[in-house]
Amino acid sequence: METAYLIDTLTFFLIIMAELTVLFIGISFLVGLLQEYVPPERIRTILERQRRGVGNVLGAAFGMVTPFCSCSTIPILVGLLNGGAPFGVTMSFLIASPLLNPVIVALLFVLLGIKTTVVYIAVVFTAAVLSGMIWERLGFACEYKGVEIQGGCCGGGASSDSTKDTTRERFRRAFGGAKALFRQVFVYLLLGAAVGALIYGFVPQDFVVRVAGADNPLAIPLAAVIGIPMYIRAETIIPVSSVLISKGMGIGAVIALIIGGAGASIPELLLLSAIFRRRLVAAFVITVLTVAIGAGYLFQFVQASL
Q: What is the pLDDT of residues 224-240, one digit of tens each?
A: 887 776 655 666 677 77
144 strand-pairing partners: 276
User: Into how many domains does the chain fold?
Assistant: 1
Pick the range with the lowest mean pLDDT from 11-15, 273-277, 297-301.
Answer: 11-15
Between CA 252 and CA 292 the distance in angstroms is 9
Q: Which domain holds residue 281?
A: 2-305
Say if residues 201 and 6 touch (Cβ distance below 8 Å).
yes
CA angle (172, 173, 176) in 5-degree steps: 85
The more confidently predicted of residues 5 and 271 is: 271
Kindly give the interhelix angle for 167-202 and 2-37, rounded to the nearest 10 degrees: 160
Pick the range with the lowest mean pLDDT from 51-60, 88-97, 128-137.
Answer: 51-60
Kindly give the interhelix angle for 2-37 and 234-247, rounded to the nearest 10 degrees: 140
Between CA 11 and CA 34 the distance in angstroms is 35
The more confidently predicted of residues 132 and 218 is: 132
Which pLDDT belongs to residue 166?
A: 81
Say if residues 132 and 92 touch (Cβ distance below 8 Å).
yes
Between CA 280 and CA 75 the distance in angstroms is 17
| Closest residue by Cα to residue 28 from 74, 65, 71, 77 | 65
> Quick one: average pLDDT of 19-37?
76
Which pLDDT belongs to residue 107?
A: 77
Say if residues 106 and 27 touch (Cβ distance below 8 Å).
yes
Between CA 22 and CA 17 the distance in angstroms is 9
> Quick one: average pLDDT of 64-71?
64
